[in-house]
Structures are given as structure tokens and as C-alpha cells.
Amino acid sequence: MVTVEVQPPTQAQAGTVLYPPLVVSSDSSAAYDFVQVVLIDPYGRVLEDQLFGTLTTSSQTLDDRAGSRGSSSRSLEYAVFPDLVISYAGSYALQVSAIRMDYSSPDGPAAVIAMSTITTRINIYDESVAAEIPSPDEQSLLRRLRRHGGFGVPRSPHNT
């Protein structure tokens, strides 16, 4: 299962980097090769050439003790999309898919969607909008990911 841990902002200005960045997690035992994000309209149609930035990445295990509460043996991997930009005003969502490669296909290697999820709605405007602050839980996860490096988590452009 792919879970959105840090939702993108509910509103942003067209052409600016979305903050907070999208962060997703999945169980480390899930068998997939990479995570991909696409922009979808309110009808679920994929919109090409309107979303830019890191659109494909690999998940990594967060090796720290702060996230392990209780005796759960479940290990999570995280994927961060630190620099997503939506080009045009409108109402959208992001579809996040965990992809595995099928090398046994008779037609050659094929990308197969192993699991996917959709973020909350993002309203994009042509003018500036108020900056959003991640929830306390999201801020905590972003700090942990930033502290342990390799995730590319940006700092807030608004010094929050």
C-alpha cells in the first residue's frame, strides 16, 4: 500500500515549487522498483506536460529511532518529490503509483502499476497565494527525513 504521508498544499501559484513537498510511504516488503507521480484533472485524466520536477524516484528506508513507536516490526520506505511544479491554473490532484518492472513479458520489459493512491485536491492560481504550513506530524516527518539525508527534503521557502 502506498500512503501519502505529507500532502501537497491545497493551493499554490502556477509555476512555483509546491511546499510542503509530497512524501509517500510504503511497507518495505512491497515489491516494486520505483515510485512515479502524475498530474490528474478532476475527472481522473492524466495531464501531460503540466507537471514538472522529480516525477520518478526510488523509495528509501528511514534509518532512525524517532519513527519507531512501540514494538511494531513494520518497516516503512519513503519517497520524496521535493520540487514539483504545476504550470497552469486549475484544480488538480497527484496520482502516486508504485511501479514494478515485469521482465518476463513476451513483448519485452513492461512497467506494471503495483499500487497507487491520489492526493487531496490542489487549487492552482495565477496569482500569489498564502503559504501553507505542514501539520505538526508532517513537520516532524520532514525534519526526520531532512536530518537523515538522501531524501532531498527542501526547507520551507517561507522560513516557517
Q: How far apart are CA 154 and CA 160, in angstroms?
A: 12
Supply the mean pLDDT for the chain: 88
Separation of alpha carbons 12 and 77, rounded Å: 27
Considering the entire predicted model, what is its pTM? Answer: 0.86
Indicate the domain borders of the chain: 2-64+73-147
For the chain, percent of residues with pLDDT exceeding 90: 62
**pLDDT tens digits, residue range 36-71?**
999 999 999 999 999 999 999 998 888 655 544 444
CA distance 10 to 15: 15
- As assigned by CATH, the class of the 2-64+73-147 domain is mainly beta
More confident residue, 124 or 103: 124
Q: Is the pLDDT of residue 74 over 70?
A: no
